[in-house]
A and B are shown apart, each in its own frame.
Chain A
Amino acid sequence: MIEKYSQNNQINPDNEIKIDSNERGESSDFLFEQTEKIFEKIESLENKTDLTKEDKEAIKTIKNKFYKISRRFLKITGGMTLLGLIASSENYYKTKYETTAEKDSKGNTVYKHSDTETTHILNYFSGRETLTEEEITYNIRLLAKNSAKVFDIELPPDFDNFNLEQIDSFFASVPKTKLKKGDMINFVDDYVDREIKPAEDIYELIWQLEKECNNPKIKFVVNPPSFLTDNLTINYSSLKNAIYIDILAQGGGPDDLIAELAHSKQFRGSLFKRIIKDLRYTKDLIKVFLRGGFNTERLNEEYSKLYAEKGTIEYEAHSEIAPELKEKYEKLTKSIKEGKHKTGKNEWKDN
């Protein structure tokens, strides 16, 4: 999923749009359905026989008003989109990151991204590095805080100093009725046990993909920033040329990373090309808004439909670009499994 609306261009990625619950409740017929309903009503009135001259005039006045407010709305939102794009164009230059390749003293190729965290994450996905206990604990703690909020669990005042074991025992002491099955406690175990098998070829491949896909910055986060939905595990921001990965999400392996790299590849190129992509994405979002109105559930539903709709940014990334990237990845991992390729650690010359 691409970072929506707020993350992509015109709205500050750090300030999600919040829609109050009153709006959500009464909005199922908003915009798309409402405009359609108005069109139908106008048409049905116009088709009535025996209309007086006065009635015809009244219909015409309402119709003109309707066109006037629609044009105004589209002009203003379009203008705001352009302003947002201009304001964000400076980021285009700021977010052109680089990767470098160097040989170490033993002749191994060592890749580096201009952002240290990205280097660490790419090395993690290619099996070269493991997650540090510090980052695991930090993120588990964040997740625990989120879960505590959701399940209305009061945390001890010194929770910020808790280590993994203490977090585990604390949640083990929480009455089971307060937690959903598979929550927290198993989550900690699953997460800590997860590992990706190291392999030299995957190291090469992961870094080649990164380079091919515009060298995006990659960040581990808990709950990637999102405008529409709260349960994203991975997200791309064209504004920041950054991929946000939920460090704790189960199954968040290289597949997810490759899927989002597709977005980064999609936005690669000149500033003009990026603006055109942003405008196309804005068009997709306007469609989602018109169809889903202020109802969050429907907005999410409508957004999901973009993945299957040819011509949308999501379709292009996930159905056209990502399969090519995945094919490269799967072909190589398959040949590693079949023993047709060198398999990493043996090839890596330790100092």
Chain B
Amino acid sequence: MENTKKEIYEKLQTSLIAELKKFKDDLKDIDSSLNELEQKIENNKKYD
């Protein structure tokens, strides 16, 4: 039982870290998309 519980906790721990990292990466992607869009809008303004 102790071992099963340990496994559950270990899996939860690993999953939690993975989720935090994934969320961090997703946020970075969104930030880059926003920067690109901002740049695109600025460029369009210049050409207009």
Contacts and interface: CB of A to CB of B under 8 A. Distances in A.
Contact of B19 (A27, A59, A77): A77
A10 B31 contact: no
Contact of A65 (B5, B8, B22, B30): B30
B9 A84 contact: yes
A308 interface: no
A34 interface: yes
B44 A45 contact: no
A149 interface: no
A58 B20 contact: no
A17 B6 CA distance: 14
Interface centre among B8, B17, B22, B27 (most CB of A within 10 A): B27
B9 A12 contact: yes
Contact of B37 (A38, A45, A90): A45
A62 B37 contact: yes
B40 to A, nearest CB: 8
B9 A45 contact: no
Contact of A42 (B12, B23, B34, B45): B34
A76 B20 CA distance: 10
Contact of A17 (B13, B23, B40): B13
Given A15-B10, A87-B5, A62 B33 contact: yes
Contacts of B12: 10-11, 80, 83-84, 87
Interface in A23-78: 23, 27, 30-31, 34-35, 37-38, 41-42, 45, 48, 50-52, 55, 58-59, 62, 65-66, 69, 73, 76-77
A155 B26 CA distance: 47
A230 to B, nearest CB: 18
B23 A73 contact: yes
A303 interface: no
A294 interface: yes
Of listed B9, B16, B19, B37, residue having the most chain A CB within 10 A: B9
Contacts of A12: 5-6, 9-10, 13
Contacts of B46: none
B16 A62 contact: no
A80 B23 CA distance: 15
Nearest to B33: A62
Contact of B44 (A42, A52, A59, A83): A52
Contacts of B41: 45, 48, 51, 55
Contact of B13 (A11, A52, A73, A77): A11
Contacts of A15: 6, 9-10, 13
A80 B33 contact: no
Contacts of A52: 44
Contact of B30 (A14, A27, A38, A55): A38
A41 B9 contact: no
Contacts of B17: 17, 19
B34 A80 contact: no
A78 to B, nearest CB: 11
Given A38-B31, A48-B41, A62-B34, A69 B9 contact: no
A58 B37 contact: yes
B45 to A, nearest CB: 7
19 contacts: A6-B13, A10-B9, A10-B16, A11-B12, A12-B5, A14-B6, A15-B10, A17-B13, A27-B24, A31-B23, A42-B34, A55-B37, A62-B34, A65-B30, A66-B30, A69-B27, A69-B30, A77-B19, A294-B20
Given A12-B9, A15-B10, A80-B19, 8 more contacts: A10-B16, A15-B6, A31-B27, A55-B44, A76-B15, A76-B19, A84-B12, A87-B12
